[in-house]
Amino acid sequence: MDYYRYTRKEPVIERIRGLMPKSRRDQRVSPSRTSRRDKELRQRRFLYIVMAVVTVATVALLAGGSIWEFVIQPRQTLASVNGTAISRGDYWKYRRYSLLQQIQQYQFFAGQDPQYQTYVQQLQGQLTTVKSAPTDPATLTTMIDDRLTVQRAESLGVTISDADLNTYIQETFAPVPLNTPTVTPTINPTASAWAAQTATARAITPTTAATPGAAGTPGAATPGTPGTPAATPGTPETAGTPGTPTVSPTVAGSATPDREQALATSTASFGTFVTNLQTSTGMSQADYLRLIARPELAKQRVTDTLTSQVKDVQPQVHAFHLLVATKDGADQVRAAIAGGKSFGDAAKEQSTDTATAPNGGDLGWMPRGVMVREFEDAAFALQPGQISEPVQTKFGWHVITVTEREEARPLTTETFDALKQSAYTKWLDGQKTSAAISSDLPATPTPTRSQFEVPPDAPPTAVPTPLPTPTRPASTPGAGGTRTATP
């Protein structure tokens, strides 16, 4: 029974199993039996996969590059002023604007001097590489100064509203003045002339040595202007860009336009200017108002406020100094003066200040604000006839003496102008000491002056009168026809 059951049914089961699909494990396909079509399908599928991967990678690179160039990089912070960031994108716009201003200025001078055309070409080359070129320290420093001026203007009571900014734009682009200009303070001409005349009268008095306490002072005292600080360059004048209308007031025709016509012209000119500015620098109207117009107006009003505070009558001292390189040298010179040597002789022999040494170190009359702080503090601490201890400044070591002082002496025109010109720079330097400023670049170093700068009222440098060149006597004929020189 058992034998029959297993021998008769087994073939049937095997047949049924053979008709069923085989499992993956049981499938064994011989490579030699794979059709050509299957191979082509596999190769084509692999090619599609590779192409898809390459396409995705390319798109990702392009998208990443675009995001980096137009989103991430422009938002990078180059500097921060009291928590307000200066972005790389703003720097690019400001840098292009500055270069275009310089190009326009040099193009004007190139008509008179072809050498300026070389400068124009150099600047045009820089204009095309603003993004790839290293950050220009001077440009970034100017942007920092602008930002700080806008922030700290309120400390002087200076505020700038949107209406003020709109008025500034109208005035800048109008063909004629729209409002009454701000009256700048002027010096009392009578007092100024008296100050200059008294200084000259004292200087004309002949003296043999610049002895401290003497009534006269060595050298002529015609007020000169060496060392007068120049106005600190700020944001370039909004003179437009090449191919755009000049921002400075245009020359009006024979008929002076009325106010309404001038306003209409101003609006149209500003619209054209902004359109061209967007094309040439990437700067929008809002960017121009924020980066250029507002800082320029703030600087203008801060300067006006500071100069209005300059008084034309101030405490002044008539000072002399000598300058040497080391403290030991200053100590030795001071000891010699204390031992009886005149200050003027010591200055002529030992001072390295070539502008005042021939005059015995005479600096003329000076108020506070025209010399470096260390120097003027020492000078104003002296009474007539006193000699200071050695004083160190960035120029070296000074020995100072004062021969006269007045608590209310009129300023000369030169000194008055110098104080006005330097008012903004000194105010800004003071603001920087208390500001939180950070930058990716090292701060632009203040140029160290190779030579001491004298105050505006210092007498001109005395030039020694050259000795007459001895003439050789004419020869006289000697015996035998020879010519012998007369001794």
**Model confidence pLDDT, tens digit, residues 397-437:** 999 999 999 999 999 999 999 999 999 999 999 999 999 99
Query: Which residues fall within 8 angstroms of residue 187, CB to CB, at 6 or more apart?
Result: 312, 410, 411, 413, 416
Helix, strand, coil shares, percent, the chain, to 5: 50, 10, 40
Q: List the one residue out of 252, 250, 229, 253 whose CA is nearest residue 240.
A: 250
The confidence score (pLDDT) of residue 122 equals: 93
- From the first residue on, what is the mean pLDDT of each consecutive set of 10 residues in the chain (487 residues)? 51 61 53 70 84 83 71 88 95 96 90 88 93 93 96 95 94 86 61 57 39 35 33 37 39 63 92 94 95 96 95 96 96 95 96 94 94 95 96 96 96 92 93 92 54 82 64 50 40
The confidence score (pLDDT) of residue 155 equals: 94
The confidence score (pLDDT) of residue 59 equals: 80
The token pair that represents 103 in the structure block: 């190009």
Q: List the one residue out of 230, 231, 229, 238 whose CA is nearest residue 295.
A: 238
Q: List the one residue out of 369, 365, 364 whose CA is nearest residue 422.
A: 369
DSSP-derived letter for residue 165 is H
Rounded alpha-carbon distances, angstroms, from residue 247 to 101, 331, 369: 11, 57, 35
> What is the tally of helices (H) and strands (E) in the chain?
14, 9
Do the Cβ atoms of 394 and 205 come closer than 8 Å?
A: no
H/E segment holding residue 317: strand 313-324
